[in-house]
Structure 1
Amino acid sequence: MGSCGTFSVSLKKRDIISAALPLQDHWLPMSNLDLLLPPLDVGVFFCYKNSFSLDVSMNIIKKSLAEALVAFYPLAGEIVHNSLGEPELLCNNRGVEFVHAYADIELQNIDLYHPDESVEGKLVPVRKQGVLTVQVTELSCGGLVIGCSFDHRVADAYSINLFLIAWAELARSKPISNPPSFRRSTLNPRRPPIANAFYNDLFLPPPSSLPLPLPFAPTDPLINRIYYMEAKDITHLQTLSSFDGSPKRSKLVSFTAFLWKIMAECEDGLKTCKMGVVVDGRERLDKTTTFDKLSLSNSMSSSMQNYFGNVLSIPYGEVVSSELKDMPLGLVAEMVHDFLFPAMTEEHFRGLIDWVELDRPETSVPKVYGKKDENDGEAIVVSSGQRFPVGGIDFGWGKPHFGSYHFPWGGQTGYVMPMPSPRKNGDWIVYMHLFQKHLDLVETKGRSVFKPLNPAYLEL
């Protein structure tokens, strides 16, 4: 495919897009689950091979963004701190920074396999102020890349997916199919809050000088890569992850188990290695407690399906790497199931909300982010992106040829997100943010499963 590291992006115009209707300034408190998030930015981008004429496309994008900000008004506000030092949302319609840029490159020549060179700071903007920044980059081939960067303290991926779909619907002159809910009372603590020391094992307070707890962090940088997995390989992993007579494991559990075993191959045998999985609490808080719902069922009641904010927990497992290497994949999948199962209930999230309430205004972050001592091994967090609506982000000129989240979140914990392929054939796109040593194993031990993303696969 050739390197794209030499292409540059030039600024054409910078604007501020505010909500199309006037909004009265007001405060929107963060929920207790929002307060678990440190200041992190999340990126997402969509690649379009063709669009309307440039002027028409830009007008559609800007006009529909202004309309979307009426319903999703927190994205046009800013985060400030109250007298206790806690973040709050000031919904003042200060607007969204909007960048219009140009890249002298064709879409088929962008090396998406190496997003550090092609995406970071080029196609996904750096958020400098406000909650959301948007960049539209026109390409020499007539295509477009739409990139966004948002403050994770305000929204999780599920929430941003709601916004992206609504934005695209308004661009096509359609009504918003799922208007957002900001009803924070849904996540109020119980009265009185119930103390549970269980959460002390999942979270720890960060040092004040760092966004994440890294007292024993190595200095090697983490690297971004994007792969694809074919449906047959995903199904094969699922088969290998199930013992004879045991329950069939979900594709996400099977994928996580496979990645965990790969990770253990490069660790010192006496060290542990940790694997965490992001769990969305929306279904659990809607009284959905069956573990099989982890398989990413879209069925949930209306009370939480439109909630905009963070509803996340990150349970994790920790095993001595030498033991993990020798385990069959089915046993590793069982361990993934075992550390996930306690988080698949309403009580887990109600208890977490209460636990945060009892510690306020102190803040905490998931313990999988940090190291207890220098003998601790590495950690990776898997976040399912199977609800990523790449096919639904159509602004009127067709669906994206490719889309992905981009989340180099800082610190020394790896991050992996599998998403549906735009080919809609059961394949997955897998974004990875890992140490080089882990990526080396992904491309040796896992080479039959993880294939570098290329223009031929995307049919560019």
Structure 2
Amino acid sequence: MEAFNTNASNILTVERSAPVPVLPEQDTPGGSIFLSSIDNVALTIMSTVYSFNRSDADVAGVIKQALSKVLVYYYPLAGRLAKNSQGKLIVDCQKKFAVPFVEASANCDIENLGDIQIMDSGTLGKLVYRDPTENMLEDGPLLTAQVTRFKCGSFTLGIALHHCMVDGMGAFQFVNSWAELARGKPLSIVPCHDRTILKPRVPPQISGPYDDFVHVSDVSNFMELYQREQMVFKSFHFDGEKLAILRKMATPDGHVMSSCSNFVALSALVWRSRSMALKMKPHQLSKLLLTVDIRPKLGTSMRDGYFGNAIIASSCLCTAGQLIDESISSTAGKIKEAIERVTEDYVRSSLDFMDTYQFDPYSVSSLLISSWLRLDYSCIDFGWGGPRQFGTGNPPPNLCMFMREDTENKKGIVVVLGLPLSAMNTFQELVQI
């Protein structure tokens, strides 16, 4: 278990240049880009940082020039959001907007940052440029970039990317394409901007799901707890040995089976432990939401290189009393079933529901587990080798992140979440294996 480094922000001082607008180096299509119902609910900014051990004197120039090249292929990122006649968001590509690019220098060596996998807001805010207009829905840029040089010669690339444009897998696809062009290589994946594959059906055909969109009321008065106590963010490391023990606990016959994955077993432990740590009342509904990649669910209708949000949140729903009283293997079984029921019909029904009804699937008593385990950043090379680290900021209160721990001596999963102080103290005891 580790608390996050809050000293790096005090050590780090960054001097920024004024943002320079970067346009695609060639003419790009005009018109507008349809955004799916999944895109329309992803109204947040994703801030990520890639750190690299070495560079040369013109690292910012190389990356800026490559950005101009990659925007020819990923031209919607140089657009702006707009609303169509139905009030749904689209991307306006008609006007030739630009991506703000910032050069910066740091007053220290990159080692002074420590582990950047999860950064405090102060450190993240110095390494990622956030445009003042970003909260103005139809004026803010969809992408910003900042290259920060450190005294040791290392550098970081900080990116702010609007979530309505793409999910984690698509974001990595974009950054890898950017890096390929910086090295003078052709794109290994050509992006597909046709999002109409995820259009709702007319008329809608809603056959389910139902639990996914059930509103969960706060009968345990969580809001008062969150307002009264300090929020604490911590990471919990599960190596291969701990994961093997956990899979055995989560398997009904006590034998580790391939059908119980590390993700399922760990999700069961985290969901139950969080519900207990928050002291949920027995009749309190507790919802677990699991992000599922729908790219493989839609077969040939989902084109290679799809650039957009292609994730559905499948759910498990029960009372806290039921969750806490049942075995961890029963909880794991619920989670496995929730993942397996995401078929093409399930996806289509979910899209129809989201387009038809107003809903808020997230509440403080719900837990959304976002898996970053398939996001392999090691291949992203702008010309000076792959990243030494990849990181982001603290998750919101109802989000838990599963991240890769893939170093020379460790192969495991890092669980990151935030809880009120008293609940975090209990949670860290419950997840000990």
CA offsets 1:69-95 (integer angstroms, 9 cap, x no match): 111111111101223322110113411
Rounded to whole Å, the distance in 2 between the matches of 1:305 and 1:226 is: 34
Deviation at 1:47, TM superposition (A): 1.2
- Give how far 1:105 is off: 2.6
What is the CA deviation profile of residues 239-263 of structure 1, one whole-angstrom value per residue up to 9, with x for unaligned ones? 3221217773111111111111221
Structure-2 change in CA distance of 1:435 and 1:159 (3 Å): farther
* Structure 2 equivalent of residue 395 of structure 1: 382
Structure-2 residue corresponding to 1:370: 363
Matches within 5 A, 1:181-200: 181-196=192-207, 198-200=208-210
User: CA 1:2–1:274 in structure 2 vs 1: closer, same or farther (change >3 Å)?
Assistant: closer
> 1:26 Cα shift?
1.5
Task: Quote the Cα distance in structure 2 between the aligned partners of 1:438 and 1:106.
Answer: 36
Q: For residue 76 of structure 1, what is the amino acid of its counterpart?
A: A
* CA distances 1:60-117 after superposition (whole Å, capped 9, x unpaired): 1111111111111111111012233221101134111112222223222214376215
- SS of the aligned residue for 2:404 comes to strand
Structure 2 residue identity aligned to 1:203: F
Match of 1:458 in 2: none
- For residues 22 and 409 of structure 2, the distance between their equivalents in structure 1, rounded to whole angstroms, comes to 33
1:346 aligns with: 344
The residue type equivalent to 2:294 in the other structure is G
Structure 2 partner of 1:258: 269
- Equivalent residue of 1:46, what SS? strand
Residue of 188, 202, 213 corresponding to 1:177 = 188
Q: Deviations over 1:151-186 (max 9, x none)?
A: 111111111111011111111111110111012232
What is the CA–CA distance in structure 2 between the aligned matches of 1:425 and 1:118, rounded to whole Å?
29
Equivalent-residue separation in structure 1 for 2:52 and 2:236 (angstroms): 19
From 24, 39, 59, the counterpart of 1:34: 39
Structure 2 residue corresponding to 1:284, chosen from 293, 297, 301: 297
How many angstroms apart in 1 are the aligned matches of 2:155 and 2:427? 31
Whole-Å separation in 2 of the counterparts to 1:439 and 1:308 = 37
Q: Structure 1-normalised TM-score?
A: 0.80
Q: Partner letter of residue 52 of structure 1?
A: D
Match among 3, 20, 25 for residue 25 of structure 2? 20
Match of 2:320? Answer: 321
> 1:223 and 1:439 mapped to 2: Cα distance?
7
Counterpart Cα distance in 2 of 1:111 and 1:327: 40
Cα separation, partners in 2 of 1:117 and 1:312, compared to 1, 3 Å = closer
Counterpart Cα distance in 2 of 1:348 and 1:315: 9
Contact 1:388 1:420 (C-alpha < 8 Å) held by counterparts: no
Q: Percent identity, please.
A: 23
SS in 2 for 1:265: helix
Give unmatched runs, 5+ long, in structure 1: 206-213, 287-300, 372-377, 449-460
List runs of 5+ in structure 2 lacking aligned partners. Answer: 135-139, 216-221
Please state if 1:426 is matched with 2:408.
Answer: no
Distance change (3 Å), C-alpha of 1:190 and 1:24: closer
Q: Deviations over 1:294-350 (max 9, x none)?
A: xxxxxxx694341111122112223433443344322221121233332x2111111
For 1:424 and 1:201, how far apart are their aligned partners in 2?
41
Q: Which residue is equivalent to 2:219? A: none
Moved more, 86-95 or 124-133: 124-133
Counterpart residue number, 2:68: 66
CA RMSD across the alignment = 2.9
Alignment match of 2:244 (pick from 213, 219, 235): 235
Give the Cα–Cα distance (whole angstroms) in 1 for the partners of residues 178 and 156 of structure 2.
15
In structure 1, distance between residues paired with 2:306 and 2:224 = 37
Deviation at 1:429? 4.1
Q: What is the CA-CA distance between 1:29 and the residue it aligns to?
A: 1.4
The amino acid of 1:141's aligned partner reads: C
Give the CA deviation at 1:442.
4.7
CA distance in 1 between counterparts of 2:63 and 2:405 reads 24
Change (3 A) 1:117 1:74: closer
Which letter does structure 1 place at the counterpart of 2:183?
R
Distance (whole Å) between structure 2 residues aligned to residue 364 and residue 305 of structure 1: 30
Post-superposition CA distance 1:15-45 (Å, at most 9, x none) = 11111112242211112332233x2111221
**Which residue is 1:208 aligned to?**
none
